[in-house]
Structure 1
Amino acid sequence: MGHSSGRQSRYLPIADHGLIGDLRTVALVGSNGTIDWYCYPSFDSPSVFAALLDADRGGAFELAAVPLNGVPARTKQFYFPDTNVLITRFFTDEGLGEIQDFMPISPGPAAARHRLIRRVVCVRGTIAFQARVAPRFGYGTEPHRVRMLDGAAIFEAPALALALTATVPLADDGRDVRARFTLHQGRSAVFALDQVGVGPDGRSAVLGCPTQEAEHEFSATVAYWRRWLAASRYRGRWREMVHRSALTLKLLTYSPTGAIVAAPTTSLPEQIGGTRNWDYRYLWVRDAAFCVYALLRLGFTEEAEAFMGFLTRLIDVRADRPSGPLQIMYGIDGRTDLPERELDHLEGYCGSAPVRVGNAAATQLQLDIYGALIDSVYLYDKWGQPMSSDHWEAVCALVDWVCEHWDQPDEGIWETRGGAKRFLYSRLMCWVAIERAIRTARRRGLPCPLTDWAATRDAIYRRIMERGWSPARQAFVQHEDDSVLDAAVLMMPLAKFISPTDPKWSATLNALAEDLVTDSLVHRYDPNASPDGLEGQEGTFSICSFWYVEALTRAGHLDEARLAFEKMLTYANHLGLYAEQIGHNGEQHGNFPQAFTHLGLISAAFNLDRALG
């Protein structure tokens, strides 16, 4: 135990991080002031700082108050109100200082500058800071050298060169760069990390970030986020949490294409020391479609439009692949090939190997994605822009495919690696795909084979009612001809498949509460009852907890729903962010922050507010 607890002390808890970004990539900033995750220039590029996955070999940008008499400063972290500008404050006996971390948002094409700015300010008294900038390129595999040019440090690796400029002197040892400086009240220092440009003479050109420019960039970035958030129509009881979730979802958007990543990290473990470590830096059709729903609910139609455009370009009805005309996930640029490999040289977060990049689940058949997508198309048609004729053609092709293929076994929403089954959730979402398309066609008078579609929709409904219901359990179950419970069935009333007061649904809700829920936290399923082909245990799944809140809300159990929701809010981190799962003692596990959880929070808050009146 001593070894692993020693190892854990070299890693901050996953939840002890904030997030900054520029709609191309993000950086995770620890509550101690260290950037320990940063991929450049985009979400799925190899990392430059990855101490989160290997404290020794990953690389980091450390910046903190110098400890006084060996005692580190106390720190607090918060977001500059209504923005994604992160402030980390350091409290010492001699003074109070803060780091303002942000990435300016450059409008326009992907070729625009990406920069990371760290502005250090002494607020009171005097405070000494120290910095160590130690990039490790290519997930820590590419060697680099440092050379100084006009006071800036240029880190040169084979595939990338980054320049660090600062308003304080930098010292290098050929590999890393350090700085130590003291600030008095009202004074500031600026560090900026930029890609090295090429000057008119063909030589390296470094664009510094002097104090006044940093001031200007700070104000412009604050203004950008406030302008964006001002479009929100949410005025309910949980405004701060809902708006933080919306700002987080926006940070997970890749603006050149409109793709939304499931999470900006890879291989953060679902269990410390376990092997359930996956790369989430891609677009899952399901997560992104639900995201569109959450953003539309709040009034953000531009993001929905960009995503719809991106997805329509990916639909390939002629594709002869097992997963059908859509893959379950894509690269943020739309690429279909995401080969999975293990990075054996990295020890993993707290020793949780393997570290994986790429994702082999990309080729799985998961029929539910068609329902998630067509539901979001339906909502976009209703609340956003009416659908174009080209989009409708694509929708018809997808629905025709679903009508032909809904009855196959598939891998299901949880991407288990335990073999294909006839999952209820997959059937449910095939029903949603056809049902929403029929609604859209009727509302808009659009051409489609209505009779055929309706016949298939009704066949799916009857099939779920007959074979998805277990008389023994008195509940709807995970897959046909079995009695395993699954939190995904919480979507049945949410998708308007069954009335929330139907006796069969009430019985199911009771069974789920008994078997899978503890104090508002919900397990996806019982891995002992349903082997998923994976080693180890997992925590409770946060999106399921928000689905549970919504299911209680719709069933009219408002006091219970509100209490469960308020309890879920206590599991957020100090900034209102959530990883994918919550462990048995309340700590956050899995990739961070996770889009799925934040959109679940928005949806639950929206519907609970409406029900509470």
Structure 2
Amino acid sequence: MADMAIENHAVIGGLRTTALVALNGSIDFLCWPRFDSPSVFASLLDPEAGEFSLAPALEGGRLTQFYVPDTNVLLTRRLSTEGVSEISDFMVPLPVDPVQRLIRRVKAVRGRVTYRLRCAPRFDYARVSHSIEQPEACQVIFRPDGPDLPPLRLCASVPLTIEGDAVVAEFALEQNDTATFTLDSEEAGENICLEPHRVAEAFKETSTYWRDWVAHSSYTGRWREHMTRSALALKLLTSAEYGSMVAAATFGLPEDPGGVRNWDYRYCWVRDSSFMVNAFMKMGYREEATAFIRWLHERRLAAKPGEARLRVLYGIDGRNIDFETDLDHFQGYRDSRPVRIGNGAEGQLQLDIIGEVMDAISLADEAFERLSHEEWISVAEAMDWLSVNWNQPDESIWEVRGGKRHFLFSRFMCWVALDRGIGIARRRSLPGRVALWRRERDAIYHDIHENFWNEDLGYFTQFKGGDAIDASCLLMPLMGFIGDHDPRWQSTLNAVGERLVDDSHVYRYEVKKGENHDGLTGTEGTFTMCSFWYVECLARSGDLLQARFLFEKMLSYANHAGLFSEEIGPAGEHLGNFPQAFTHLALIRAGLYLDQALSRAGRCN
């Protein structure tokens, strides 16, 4: 089961956690009960790290997997001459049901179909053992031996058999018959398992929830299917309980197969989440933006006295993530080790995050959610701090582990932060040291043009004093720092095309150059978020035909379910954690701008 490629998966979730479902019907990644909780199924990373397989005993045939339209309800089918099987997988969203459940329903669509089930959780990243209790034939409880680990209960409409430390079942369904399986915590629902008719109701309620959510979208353009799927993927990465958002659903999936670039993205990065807020707002979703901005404000209020900056990342509930640990017993996806949990970037200085936060806050404040008095005081304090500290080296957006530098990206995002703070103060007539902010904003502008522009090379360099180029510069016009047609920008955009672009794909930087060394061995795939940024930059520069051509090419790299990971390899394989918020939010941004630009240009399709 662990042999399925990253791209051969889809994701389900209920706004508390997510699970990956492979094309063969196996759930081979699930952290429970929250996104950042320990894994219970992780056979995608190690064959002994837990799985929940459910498969028809049909020879040959074809596997298909797709979502019920406009939902996150997943259907996995096997079609063969012997019969047709269908598995429905979903989690009931928190707003629909306070009880957290993963539900699997199988149906023999055609013919008589025999199924085999195996549920083998491995608690706490497969580090602790468990016992199994069977209060009745169709119900088992997996009870972990470690402390603070919730037990799991599996309820079924068919008899279950304990087999070692796993539970199995083999059963046959006649045509149109169904069987149901629900996974929840033992204390859920007062120890009452869902009857099959209640599972059918949950299917309808969950589908209705997602369709109603999609109906609030303001997007009606050319790429509705891709844009809607990206929005649904982003929504799955949000916490209904806290309002926070995770960068991706997984940990440990490699950027370089067989290499060491294997990170844990199940946490709330302030940068990524602020970009997500931007995408949600542009698609017409206000609730998600409001919830996250309030969550951010709570983090600021929880900061230590005198601590003016936000942390780089947090746990879903706002706790500090102050560790990075290797799971040495994990084999790793295609031998990619070490498999890490936690994230060492937490201790880094990343000055750019204030810029992303301020851009999101400014958009929300102008559109619908005016800052409260307390929120403005926090913003003003951050602006004061940044006015004094912007000229520091840091690790910046790519979280390099080769030492701090004066990175271009952080520098112009500091400009963005101060610019947005000034704009809010002016628009709302709010008090603050606006003259100081304006002076420092202008100083940053001059610093970038004097110290990051390389006249000989004809582009803005990755860091002060270097000669490398970095795809994060693509945000310069997108954030309003420089004009779309400014000669310096056009020259830089051409340099990105020459040095970082491979067909429609964009590398984030040249990892093989010693001066760009990020402190890690190996290489990586192309960074899909940067590819969509490049599309938007081309469109803004007026090259609509090329922008659309590359956009359509990039859409073709989505997997069968319309999902993207972080990176794309040389053969089109997905690399990095999956699904990745960065990629889907950049797709939305590029699609929105390109759609509008094509319409303005009079192109009807």
Q: TM-score range by the shorter chain?
A: over 0.9
Is residue 185 of structure 1 aligned with residue 185 of structure 2?
no
Which residues of 2 match residues 25-174 of structure 1 at below 5 A? 25-55=17-47, 57-68=48-59, 71=60, 73-107=61-95, 112-151=98-137, 152-158=139-145, 159-174=149-164
Q: 1:198 to 1:294 in 2, by over 3 A?
A: closer
Which residue of 559, 562, 566 maps to 2:545?
Answer: 559
Partner of 2:603: none
CA contact (8 A) 2:94 2:240 kept: no
Looking at structure 1, the residues matched to 433 and 197 of structure 2 have their Cα atoms a distance apart, in angstroms, of: 63
Partner of 1:475: 459
Which residues of 2 match residues 14-33 of structure 1 at below 5 A? 14-33=6-25
Q: Which amino acid aligns with 2:571?
A: N
Which residues of 2 match residues 351-430 of structure 1 at below 5 A? 351-430=335-414
Looking at structure 1, the residues matched to 392 and 305 of structure 2 have their Cα atoms a distance apart, in angstroms, of: 16
Looking at structure 2, the residues matched to 372 and 12 of structure 1 have their Cα atoms a distance apart, in angstroms, of: 36
Partner of 2:581: 595
Looking at structure 2, the residues matched to 117 and 108 of structure 1 have their Cα atoms a distance apart, in angstroms, of: 14
Q: 1:512 to 1:128 in 2, by over 3 A?
A: same
- Cα distance per residue 1:319-342 (max 9 Å; x no partner): 479x95211111111112331111
- The Cα of 1:155 is off from its aligned counterpart by 1.1
- Cα distance per residue 1:503-536 (max 9 Å; x no partner): 1111111111000001110001101221111010
- Cα distance per residue 1:72-113 (max 9 Å; x no partner): x4210000000000000111212111000001123289xx31
Looking at structure 2, the residues matched to 102 and 491 of structure 1 have their Cα atoms a distance apart, in angstroms, of: 36
Q: Which amino acid aligns with 1:497?
A: F
Please identify runs of 4+ aligned residues in structure 1 that moved more than 6 A: none
Q: Which amino acid aligns with 2:169?
A: A
Partner of 1:175: 165
- The Cα of 1:428 is off from its aligned counterpart by 0.4
CA contact (8 A) 1:399 1:434 kept: yes
Q: 1:108 to 1:169 in 2, by over 3 A?
A: closer
Q: Which amino acid aligns with 1:588?
A: H
Looking at structure 1, the residues matched to 387 and 188 of structure 2 have their Cα atoms a distance apart, in angstroms, of: 55
Q: 1:107 to 1:10 in 2, by over 3 A?
A: closer
Looking at structure 2, the residues matched to 537 and 527 of structure 1 have their Cα atoms a distance apart, in angstroms, of: 6
- Cα distance per residue 1:193-213 (max 9 Å; x no partner): 1111289xxxxx632222101
CA contact (8 A) 1:296 1:384 kept: no
TM-score of the pair, normalised by structure 2: 0.96
Partner of 1:491: 475
Q: 1:445 to 1:198 in 2, by over 3 A?
A: closer
Looking at structure 1, the residues matched to 143 and 407 of structure 2 have their Cα atoms a distance apart, in angstroms, of: 51
Looking at structure 1, the residues matched to 78 and 173 of structure 2 have their Cα atoms a distance apart, in angstroms, of: 13
Q: Secondary structure at the match of 2:481?
A: coil
Looking at structure 2, the residues matched to 29 and 18 of structure 1 have their Cα atoms a distance apart, in angstroms, of: 5
Looking at structure 1, the residues matched to 305 and 551 of structure 2 have their Cα atoms a distance apart, in angstroms, of: 44
Which residue of 219, 231, 238 maps to 1:253?
Answer: 238
- The Cα of 1:148 is off from its aligned counterpart by 1.4
Looking at structure 2, the residues matched to 222 and 172 of structure 1 have their Cα atoms a distance apart, in angstroms, of: 33
Q: Secondary structure at the match of 2:508?
A: coil
- The Cα of 1:14 is off from its aligned counterpart by 0.4
Q: 1:525 to 1:198 in 2, by over 3 A?
A: closer
Unaligned runs of 5+ in 1: 1-8, 200-204
TM-score of the pair, normalised by structure 1: 0.95
Looking at structure 2, the residues matched to 132 and 31 of structure 1 have their Cα atoms a distance apart, in angstroms, of: 16
Looking at structure 2, the residues matched to 591 and 313 of structure 1 have their Cα atoms a distance apart, in angstroms, of: 28
Looking at structure 1, the residues matched to 96 and 388 of structure 2 have their Cα atoms a distance apart, in angstroms, of: 42
- The Cα of 1:136 is off from its aligned counterpart by 0.9
Looking at structure 1, the residues matched to 305 and 562 of structure 2 have their Cα atoms a distance apart, in angstroms, of: 43
Sequence identity, in percent?
49
CA contact (8 A) 1:331 1:338 kept: no
Partner of 2:204: 219
Unaligned runs of 5+ in 2: 600-605
Q: Which amino acid aligns with 1:125?
A: G
User: Which range moves more in the overlay, 59-68 or 242-251?
Assistant: 59-68
Looking at structure 2, the residues matched to 198 and 19 of structure 1 have their Cα atoms a distance apart, in angstroms, of: 23
Q: 1:461 to 1:485 in 2, by over 3 A?
A: same
- The Cα of 1:165 is off from its aligned counterpart by 1.1
Looking at structure 1, the residues matched to 135 and 214 of structure 2 have their Cα atoms a distance apart, in angstroms, of: 40
Q: Which amino acid aligns with 1:249?
A: L
Q: Secondary structure at the match of 2:472?
A: helix
Q: Which amino acid aligns with 1:362?
A: E
CA contact (8 A) 1:550 1:607 kept: yes
- The Cα of 1:174 is off from its aligned counterpart by 3.7
Q: Which amino acid aligns with 1:263?
A: A
Q: Secondary structure at the match of 1:421?
A: coil
Looking at structure 2, the residues matched to 147 and 439 of structure 1 have their Cα atoms a distance apart, in angstroms, of: 61
Q: Secondary structure at the match of 1:387?
A: coil
Which residues of 2 match residues 305-320 of structure 1 at below 5 A? 305-315=290-300, 319=304
- The Cα of 1:318 is off from its aligned counterpart by 6.7
- The Cα of 1:10 is off from its aligned counterpart by 4.5
Partner of 2:602: none
Is residue 332 of structure 1 aligned with residue 316 of structure 2?
yes
Partner of 1:241: 226
Q: Which amino acid aligns with 1:172?
A: I
CA contact (8 A) 2:512 2:523 kept: no
CA contact (8 A) 2:14 2:91 kept: yes
Looking at structure 2, the residues matched to 94 and 174 of structure 1 have their Cα atoms a distance apart, in angstroms, of: 32
- The Cα of 1:145 is off from its aligned counterpart by 1.7
Looking at structure 2, the residues matched to 206 and 386 of structure 1 have their Cα atoms a distance apart, in angstroms, of: 45
Is residue 549 of structure 1 aligned with residue 535 of structure 2?
yes
- The Cα of 1:387 is off from its aligned counterpart by 1.9
Looking at structure 2, the residues matched to 585 and 375 of structure 1 have their Cα atoms a distance apart, in angstroms, of: 36
RMSD: 1.5
Q: Secondary structure at the match of 2:251?
A: coil
Q: Secondary structure at the match of 1:156?
A: strand
Which residue of 295, 299, 313 maps to 2:280?
Answer: 295
Which residues of 2 match residues 433-452 of structure 1 at below 5 A? 433-452=417-436
Which residues of 2 match residues 535-546 of structure 1 at below 5 A? 535-546=521-532
Q: Which amino acid aligns with 2:416?
A: V
Partner of 1:267: 252
CA contact (8 A) 1:252 1:261 kept: yes
- The Cα of 1:316 is off from its aligned counterpart by 5.5
Partner of 1:5: none
Q: Which amino acid aligns with 1:352?
A: S
